[in-house]
């Protein structure tokens, strides 16, 4: 199985016809205070599979910081239907992530594994912005770019 797309977006869905719709793609966000909380983001994954990949495979997405510390992980499964030899199939997965806590500025990564094999990563850069003098110093939200 090969990862052909992995990105973060504000919103994504898969239509009845199987079309993947994505809005608000981003790789970087900004925050005034840390730890910061990003209310919602969606991790969109597209894989291409062959007839040899038929069956159900465990999927795990791990969110790590620059020191490779795991901040959280989510698990799921992908089912690849039977197909003829030489026929490649595409599968889309959307993970809705609510309340993601970002402890500090830096580069984070979503590590994507299928059946315990890493198939790809996608980064999330978090940039610290100076706090406006009128903003309280409590932990706050983040701003996309």
For 77, phi then psi, to 5°, come to -150, 150
Q: What is the pLDDT of residues 67-111, one digit of tens each?
A: 999 999 999 998 888 877 778 888 899 999 999 999 999 999 999
Domains identified in the chain, total number: 1
DSSP bridge partners of 120: 112
Q: Give the pairing type, strands 70-80 and 142-144.
A: unpaired
Q: What is the pLDDT of residues 16-44, one digit of tens each?
A: 998 999 999 999 999 999 999 999 999 99
Q: What's the chain's average pLDDT? A: 90
21: domain range? 2-144
Q: Give the pairing type, strands 28-31 and 117-128.
A: parallel
Looking at residue 61, what is its pLDDT?
A: 97
**Is residue 138 predicted with pLDDT exceeding 80?**
no
Domain at 66, CATH number: 2.60.40.10
Looking at residue 44, what is its pLDDT?
A: 97
């Amino acid at each position: 199985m090969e990862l052909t797309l992995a990105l973060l977006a504000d919103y994504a869905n898969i239509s009845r016809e199987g079309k993947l719709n994505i809005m608000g793609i981003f790789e970087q966000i900004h925050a005034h205070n840390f730890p910061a909380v990003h209310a919602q983001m969606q991790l969109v994954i597209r894989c291409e599979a062959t007839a040899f990949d038929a069956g159900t495979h465990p999927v795990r997405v791990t969110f790590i910081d620059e020191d490779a510390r795991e901040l959280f992980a989510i698990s799921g499964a992908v089912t690849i239907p039977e197909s003829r030899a030489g026929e490649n199939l595409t599968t889309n997965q959307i993970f809705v992530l609510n309340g993601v806590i970002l402890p500090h500025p830096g580069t984070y990564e979503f590590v994507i594994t299928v059946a315990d094999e890493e198939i790809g990563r996608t980064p999330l850069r978090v940039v610290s912005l100076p706090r406006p003098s009128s903003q309280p110093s409590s932990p706050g939200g983040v701003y996309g770019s």
